[in-house]
Amino acid sequence: KKIFCDATNDELAFATILLPPQLDFSDMTALVENEKRRLRTFIDRQRRTDTRWNDFQLMGWWEVDRMSFGDFDSCGRNTRLALDALGFPLMEASNKTIWRPHLHAIVRKGELSTEEVASALRKETHTAKYQVDIQPFRTNRDVGGNIQNIVRYCLKFRIECDYKRPDAQGFIEAEQADE
């Protein structure tokens, strides 16, 4: 709340950035640390070339989904394209779990548009199809409600296979409907 307390819906967006699928969970720490470095370097580089990036902020949470090799065929079209472009295993790996790390983040765009931020990420650092998804905040609720929905979504903890839930911006309503 402190970071985005004075922001409006127009200034904020919800981002998801996919990382390459992993067969070995012990590699996850190095992958995440490398991604943090890449994002910091990316933002610093953008700020050096375009002052509109000076007000850009990103606050994120890491999530790791699990799946098996056979789950690939039941994924949606865009998910299959993204996983394939990110190096999904071509052959079944002895019934091993496939880990799908990704970052969920609230983005303060500053003077940039949602499209400019997404385009820069896709061009510079995250070039796989559907690897970056950035959605503007919903304007039908106040900014505090949007932030609350996204933070609760990002902090969820579930151990389930093929868990399907509405997007982050509708998370609280979906939880209340289940009660």
Displacement of CA 108 from its chain's centroid (Å): 14
Token representation of residue 105:
């983040």
Note the maximum CA span of the chain.
51
pLDDT digits (tens, 9 = 90+) for 102-114: 999 999 999 999 9
Query: What are residue 13's phi and psi, to 5 degrees?
Result: -145, 160
pLDDT of residue 178: 58
Which letter, b or e, does each residue of 41-50 get, where b requires 16 or more Cβ atoms within 10 Å of its Cβ?
A: ebbeebeeee
DSSP tag of 112: S
Instruction: Write the CA distances from 112 to 7, 17, 45, integer angstroms.
Output: 14, 18, 15
Strands 57-67 and 12-18: unpaired
The secondary element (H helix, E strand) that includes residue 97 is none
pTM for this structure? 0.83
pLDDT digits (tens, 9 = 90+) for 1-42: 678 888 999 999 999 999 999 988 998 999 999 999 999 999
